[in-house]
Amino acid sequence: MCYHYLTCTYFRIKLHRESKSKRYRWDKADLVSYYYTSDSCLSEVNMTHIAELCCCPVGCQCDCRQFLDVTYHNIEQALHAAAKEHCPVTTDSFYKSYWNEEMSELKHCSIDTHALWVAFGRPCCGPIFRDCCARAEYRRALKAKSHLACTRIFNALHEQLLTKDNISFWKTLKNKVNEWHTVVNYVDGCTNATDIANAFATNFEQACLPNNSDHNNKLKNQFEAMFSNCCPKSVLHWISTELVDKGIREMKLGKAAGCDGVEAEHLRYAHPRICVMLSLLFNAMILHGMVPSMFGLGITVPLIKRHDLDDSMSANYRGITLSVHLSKVFEMCVLELYGDFFVTSDLQYGF
């Protein structure tokens, strides 16, 4: 089974400590409303062409890329439209864990009393002046709540150390304590963001090239000979809605989105209609041996290999690529159905 991928990579580089990207805050979302709104938005996506493509024979060579791309884009836009209505988009540090209704009331009371004090000419005595103590109460409560939240974090770290739960310890330390690391503003002698991205692109491109072109061509010819004798009809398995739903449920939440901005939560909390639509889309892709162009796009984030290396040299970085989540669901379905046919080396690309 051959798939035509569009090879294109974006590079996201943190050049400033304060650069924190905004993302959907699903922990603050109205998930029930999102569920029903996603059903309404997805129902407007026209799946007629995709359903017709599913009736084609295996290996059909009809030009269906446009229909795949358009359908993918419409599903993506429907999920975003539903999420924007019921899920706030903020930075991770916008919401405080210790904030509650009590703190909100104290804050509003502080604002109202301060506005009243200003309106009466900022008196230094009298009942209006005494009412301004609401601001002090708010600041004391804020300080106490913040201190209590910090105490809980450090107690959790202490318990994880005692129980030797290394995974939870480092996860808590990274998410709750550590701040963004400052990244140097020059790499390979470049100071402009575009030049730095191009330097990383060149370095990572070289890492993806074969070490021996003759050996690479030999393996390519060997694969094409085996592929020419393959009869896809004999091993064709349809991707069912249940399999798509299983793949979505097995995805980890809280992961960064790919180029399309769709997160795992978009799929997990959406109406089951999404499973039916993705099932049709995936089956059309298998029959025609093509995938949407977005499946070939990724965001590559450069990470320093070791902290003792020179962080101003691109060769000391490795790339982590963020793929679109819909492609991950498709890969999970393919692995479930055709995993027995995939054989790779124990060396795993030499590492």
- Tens of pLDDT, residue by residue over 264-303, are 999 999 999 999 999 999 999 998 889 999 998 888 888 8
**Nearest-CA neighbor of 325 among 301, 285, 295, 291?**
295
pLDDT grade for 32, boundaries at 50, 70 and 90: very high
Q: Residue 17: pLDDT band by 50, 70, 90 thresholds?
A: very low
Same-domain check for residues 283 and 164: no
Report residue 6's pLDDT band, with 50, 70 and 90 as the boundaries: very low
Banded pLDDT at 43 (limits 50, 70, 90): very high
Q: Is the confidence at residue 345, as pLDDT, over 80?
A: no
Burial class (CB in 10 A: 0-12, 13-18, 19+), 251: middle
Domain of 233?
A: 8-93+184-339
The pLDDT of residue 20 is above 70? no
Residue 83: CB partners within 8 Å, gap ≥ 6? Answer: 24, 29, 34, 266
Residues 6+ apart with CB under 8 A from 118: none
pLDDT at 328: 95
Residues 201 and 53 in one domain: yes
Q: Are residue 275 and residue 318 in the same domain, yes or no? A: yes
| Residues 230 and 324 both lie in one domain | yes
Euclidean distance between CA atoms 345 and 215, whole angstroms: 16
The total number of structural domains in the chain stands at 2
Whether 351 maps to a domain, the answer reads no
User: Quick check: 239 pLDDT over 90?
Assistant: yes
The answer to the question of residue 1 being in a domain is: no
Q: Same structural domain for residues 204 and 324?
A: yes
- Contacts of residue 15, defined as CB under 8 A and 6 or more positions apart, other chains included, come to 183, 185, 193, 196
Helix (H, G, I), strand (E, B) or coil at 260: coil
Q: Which residue has the higher pLDDT, 285 or 98?
A: 285
Residue 92 in contact with residue 59, Cβ under 8 Å?
A: no
The answer, yes or no, to whether residue 322 has pLDDT greater than 50, is yes
pLDDT of residue 10: 46
171-216 pLDDT, tens digit each: 777 766 665 555 677 888 888 888 888 888 888 888 878 888 888 8
Question: Are residues 230 and 149 part of one domain?
Answer: no
Q: Which of 137, 159, 177 is the last residue of a domain?
A: 177
Assigned domain for 161 exists:
yes
Q: How many Å apart are CA 141 and CA 37, to the nearest integer?
A: 38
168, pLDDT greater than 60: yes
332 and 226 belong to one structural domain? yes
Transcribe 5-29 into DSSP letters.
Answer: ---EEEE----STT----EE-GGGS
Query: CA angle 160-161-162, nearest 5°?
Result: 90
Q: 33-65 burial, b for 16+ CB within 10 Å, e for fewer?
A: ebeebbbebbeebebeebeebbeeeebeeeebe
- The candidate with the shortest Cα–Cα distance to 70, out of 84, 42, 50, is 50
Query: How far is Cα 297 from Cα 259, in angstroms, rounded to an integer?
Result: 7
Three-class secondary structure of residue 134 per DSSP: helix
At residue 19 the predicted structure's pLDDT band, cuts being 50, 70 and 90, is very low
Amino acid, single-letter form, for residue 38: S
What local confidence, expressed as pLDDT, does residue 135 receive?
78
**Average pLDDT value for residue range 322-340:** 92
Q: Using the 3D structure, point to which of 134, 162, 177 is the last residue of a domain.
A: 177
Lowest mean pLDDT among 47-51, 217-221, 226-230: 226-230
Task: Inform me whether the pLDDT recorded for 125 exceeds 60.
Answer: yes
**Percent of the chain at pLDDT above 90?**
30
| Residue 113 confidence (pLDDT) | 82
Q: Is residue 350 part of a domain?
A: no
Q: Is residue 344 part of a domain?
A: no
Interatomic CA distance for residues 50 and 57, integer angstroms: 14
Q: Identify whether residues 173 and 188 lie together within a single domain.
A: no
User: pLDDT averaged over the chain?
Assistant: 83
Same-domain pairing of 130 and 250: no
Q: Are residue 172 and residue 198 in the same domain, yes or no?
A: no
The whole-number pLDDT of residue 192 equals 86
Both 109 and 201 in a single domain?
A: no
Give the domain-ending residue among 132, 162, 177.
Answer: 177
Q: Is 236 domain-assigned? A: yes
Evaluate whether residue 52 is within a structural domain: yes
Same domain assignment for residues 55 and 166 = no
- pTM for this structure? 0.73
Q: What is the pLDDT of residue 267?
A: 96
Residue 136 near residue 110, CB atoms below 8 Å = no
